[in-house]
């Protein structure tokens, strides 16, 4: 269980920004193949950097392998009564790796 409290700006908005870049898709001849390299980058504020490093094209769709980093600012148990006795968590970075599938 974590704190469900969000702090917003005076105008009522919760700050969020996402910037991304994506290479032009180049489907291999025959529609199947593996491409290694930089395919896309997404930086989301607060907290995440995601980099696509490989694409596998198959008849059923494409698979995207990605790696990245995320930052968690931590929390203090005094921030919410639901956190009493759970202790404080310091801010920390987390490594991310995964595979996504995009069906045709």
Domain boundaries, the chain: 34-103
Cα 37 to Cα 19, 28, 34, 55, 69, distances in angstroms: 20, 14, 10, 9, 18
Average pLDDT (96-103) is 95
33: CB partners within 8 A, 6+ apart: 56, 57
Q: Write the pLDDT tens digit of every residue in 8-33.
A: 666 666 667 889 999 988 888 888 99
**Would you say residue 88 has pLDDT above 90?**
no
pLDDT score, position 1? 44
DSSP calls for 16-45: -EEEEEEPPP-PPGGG-EEEEEEEEEEEEE
């Amino acid at each position: 269980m974590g704190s469900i409290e969000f702090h917003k700006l005076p105008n009522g908005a919760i700050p969020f920004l996402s910037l991304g870049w994506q290479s032009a898709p180049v489907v291999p001849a025959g529609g199947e193949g593996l491409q290694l390299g930089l395919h896309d980058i997404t930086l989301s504020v607060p907290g995440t950097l995601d980099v696509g490093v490989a694409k596998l094209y198959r008849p059923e769709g494409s698979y995207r392998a990605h790696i990245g980093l995320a930052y968690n600012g931590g929390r203090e148990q005094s921030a919410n009564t639901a956190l009493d006795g759970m202790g404080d968590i310091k801010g920390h970075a987390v490594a991310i790796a995964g595979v996504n599938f995009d069906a045709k």
